[in-house]
Amino acid sequence: MSKKVIYSGIQPSGSLTLGNYIGALSNFAQFQEEFDCLYCIVDMHAITVEQEPAKLRQNALQLLALYLAAGLDPKKSIVYIQSHVPEHAQLEWVLNTITYMGQLNRMTQFKDKSKNRGDNIPVGLFTYPVLMAADILLFQTDYVPVGEDQKQHLEFTRDIAERFNNRYSDTFVVPEVYLPKVGARIMSLQNPEAKMSKSDSDPNASIFLLDPPAVIKKKIKRAVTDSIGEMAYSDEQLGLRNLIDIYSAITGETTDEIVEKYKGQGYGQFKEDLGEFVANKLSPLQERYNEYLQNKELLEEIYRDGAQRASAIAQKTLRKVYKKVGFLPR
Ligand code: ATP
Ligand code: LTN
């Protein structure tokens, strides 16, 4: 019996936030023993919004160093860069032909990112979910660990897999989303109604994984809460609730335990402790990250080997797909 397959990816579109870490990256390493894991740096997705080429290259390498720092072991998992494996784009084309524009029009990420662009919406932004479906389906993935915001894209992927299977006979595993129990949606520290995001223009809204400890503590201290002033995990105290979620994700304590611990104290001590915990959690990650980043040769070796192994698997699926749709073999 072969192991079940786990697949996930992160865009090298800027500095990663605590949201990316809690919602996605921090969960990746734990699957490596039990599953066959692939973790991708999705640079082809990143160019759906404008990127500076030199910066994109740098971001991709930095993200690889961060993957390794977060415990991904290239001996256990396949870690690679999307643009190194051409089968992604090849499968995407075929999937484009069975995707309906109506479906893509309903994607909230597309609606958000195409806002205020008038007629100048890149087609790549529109077909983004089709490329994501190709990523996942190429590897016959069983589970996809992502944050809550990607749930809709996973539902789309399942739908496309089922449509292809129905039209051409069984070809793809229909994947399932895997959401973290706490922290699937970490909110902005300045606006608890908006998701914490890499691309937020207010630097105080997000904690970046590479922020120094003093900055982390300051951002948490300044995080927007409420005038109620009492510890509770409630819909009326969204800012506080978000901080409790972060606390829970970082320490493993339940939200009830946390509320109980700080009951009757206001938010001061809670925020101070939280700042300390987050900073302590991230500093060993930062140290390992800096070590990996200095070893360019090792990073190159890892992504080259990863691309080869990923390609070998992807080719098998692509061959099947080409045959089923009726392409003449070469
Ligand atoms: P951008 O803001 O540039 O669109 P992003 O911050 O949403 O980027 P992605 O690369 O799209 O980052 O996401 C990487 C992973 O992090 C995905 O699995 C996504 O679901 C997860 N993620 C992103 N933001 C959050 C958040 N605020 N809370 C929990 N998980 C998140
Ligand atoms: N769309 C995702 C990144 C992504 C991904 C994937 C995640 C691209 N391909 C495949 C899981 C599996 C995002 O924006 N976070």
Active-site pick, 195, 217, 219, 281:
195
Q: Are 178 and 35 in contact (CB under 8 A)?
A: no
Q: Which 3-state string (H, E, C) describes 63-102?
A: HHHHHHHCCCCCCCCEEEEHHHCCHHHHHHHHHHCCCCHH
Tokens of 326: 């009726």
Sign (positive/negative) of CA torsion 273, 278, 279, 285?
Answer: positive
> Cβ(144) to ligand 1 under 6 A?
no
Model pLDDT, residue 199: 82
- pTM for the full predicted model: 0.96
Q: Is 198 a catalytic residue?
A: yes
Q: What is the pLDDT of residues 265-278, one digit of tens each?
A: 989 999 999 999 99
Using CA atoms in the order 208, 276, 250, 59, what is the torsion angle rounded to 10 degrees?
20
Per-residue pLDDT of the chain (330 residues; tens, 9 = 90+): 689 999 999 999 999 999 999 999 999 999 999 999 999 999 999 999 999 999 999 999 999 999 999 999 999 999 999 999 999 999 999 999 999 999 999 999 999 999 989 999 999 999 999 999 999 999 999 999 999 999 999 999 999 999 999 999 999 999 999 999 999 999 999 999 999 998 889 999 999 999 999 999 999 999 999 999 999 999 999 999 999 999 999 999 999 999 999 999 989 999 999 999 999 999 999 999 999 999 999 999 999 999 999 999 999 999 999 999 999 998
Q: Are 174 and 158 in contact (CB under 8 A)?
A: yes
Model pLDDT, residue 2: 87
Kindly report the protein residue whose alpha carbon is nearest to atom 15 of ligand 2: 10
Cα of 276 to ligand 2 centre, how many Å?
31
Note the CATH architecture for domain 5-178+296-325.
Answer: 3-Layer(aba) Sandwich (3.40)
For the chain, where do the domains classified as CATH 3.40.50.620 start and end? 5-178+296-325
Instruction: Kindly list the protein residues whose Cβ atom lies closer than 6 A to any atom of ligand 2.
Output: 7-9, 11, 42, 45, 132, 135-136, 144, 146, 150, 153
Kindly report the protein residue whose alpha carbon is nearest to atom 9 of ligand 2: 132
Sorted by sequence, the CB contacts under 8 Å of residue 182 that are 6+ apart come out as: 22, 245, 248, 249, 255
Q: What are phi and psi of 144, to 5 degrees?
A: -125, 105
Sorted by sequence, the CB contacts under 8 Å of residue 177 that are 6+ apart come out as: 143, 144, 146, 150, 151, 154, 155
> How far apart are alpha carbons 6 and 35 in whole angstroms?
6
Note the CATH architecture for domain 213-290.
Answer: Orthogonal Bundle (1.10)
Active-site pick, 4, 76, 151, 198:
198
Q: What is the pLDDT of residues 231-267, one digit of tens each?
A: 999 999 999 999 999 999 999 999 999 999 999 998 9
For the chain, where do the domains classified as CATH 1.10.240.10 start and end? 213-290
Q: Is 55 a catalytic residue?
A: no
Q: Closest ligand to 198 CA?
A: 1
> Cβ(24) to ligand 1 under 6 A?
yes
| Pick from 128, 89, 95: nearest CA to 112 | 128
Where does 174-328 have alpha helices with state H?
A: 213-221, 238-251, 255-262, 268-294, 296-325
Q: Are 45 and 11 in contact (CB under 8 A)?
A: yes
Q: Ligand 1 pocket check: which of 7, 15, 20 to mutate, most ligand atoms within 8 Å of Cβ?
A: 20
Q: Ligand 2 pocket check: which of 25, 42, 83 to mutate, most ligand atoms within 8 Å of Cβ?
A: 42
Model pLDDT, residue 1: 65
